[in-house]
Amino acid sequence: CILLSIHTDWQDKARHEVEQVLQGNPPDYESAARLKILNMIVNETLRLYSPQPFSLRIVEKETKLGNLKIPAGTNIEIPFIAVHHDPQEWGEDVDDFNPARFAEVVAKASKSSRAFMPFSSGTRVCLGMNFSLIEAKLTLAMILQKFSFTISPNYKHSPACRATTWPVHGAHIIFQNL
Ligand code: HEM
């Protein structure tokens, strides 16, 4: 909602898609799959402001990773959000909100196919990934059907990455009935 309040062009595009696909009906599991622009917006939001910005691991036995020899017992931080802000992966507009980068399959949005990992990756990928993506799209679709929204003039952009990513000074969104 913060990003769509600032980038009202994307809010308009998203609402247009919701109107076209849902025709005034409430969204459901099947229609969520057809909300492509909402999908792009949710992915771009997860890239820029990854709710879980990093993960931690302990190396159990000595491991070779490329040229690195990592001793057993080493604590490793995997900074998803740093990878999500790497210009070599995403290009010079890395810090911009540009959902269009996710217009094709996710693997093609970045230079290497696995740079997008807001839910981690591999065998311990988030168990709630599909649930969360559908829930986010359904909720956003219902909001877009009923309201237009802008951000308070007092809003100060202040995202913080602690255990989760959150706006330190809050985010007051002004909703208007459509
Ligand atoms: C936007 C929402 C969410 C994000 C960004 C997210 C992100 C993540 C990430 C990054 C991990 C990997 C943690 C690590 O290995 O250090 C993870 C693991 C996990 N998540 Fe989520 N998560 C979300 C929502 C949910 C929900 C709604 C559920 C449950 C319904 C859930 C259940 C789990 C579980 C059980 C694991 C552990 C999986 C394992 O270790 O095998 N998550 N999540």
Q: Give the contacts of 155 (CB within 8 A, at least 6 positions apart).
A: 2, 169, 171, 172
Predicted confidence (pLDDT) per residue in 23-58, tens digit: 999 999 999 999 999 999 999 999 999 999 999 999
* CATH number (domain holding residue 77): 1.10.630.10
Looking at this protein, which amino acid is placed at residue 144?
L
pLDDT of residue 141: 98
**Tokens matching residue 43:** 């992915």
State the distance from the centre of ligand 1 to the C-alpha of 52, rounded, in angstroms: 8
Q: Is the CB of 76 within 6 Å of ligand 1? A: no
pLDDT of residue 137: 97
Task: Indicate the burial class of 80 (C-beta count within 10 angstroms; 0-12, 13-18, 19 or more).
Answer: buried
What is the mean predicted confidence (pLDDT) over 60-89?
96
Q: Is the CB of 120 within 6 Å of ligand 1? A: yes
For the chain, how many structural domains are there in total?
1
pLDDT of residue 146: 98
Predicted confidence (pLDDT) per residue in 96-123, tens digit: 999 999 999 999 999 999 999 999 999 9
Q: Is the CB of 165 within 6 Å of ligand 1? A: no
Residue span of the structural domain in which 86 resides: 2-177
Give the residue among 31, 53, 37, 49 at the shortest CA–CA distance from 102.
37
For residue 162, pLDDT over 90 is answered with: no
* Atom of ligand 1 minimally distant from the CA of 136: 1
Give the pTM. Answer: 0.95
What is the mean predicted confidence (pLDDT) over 72-93?
97
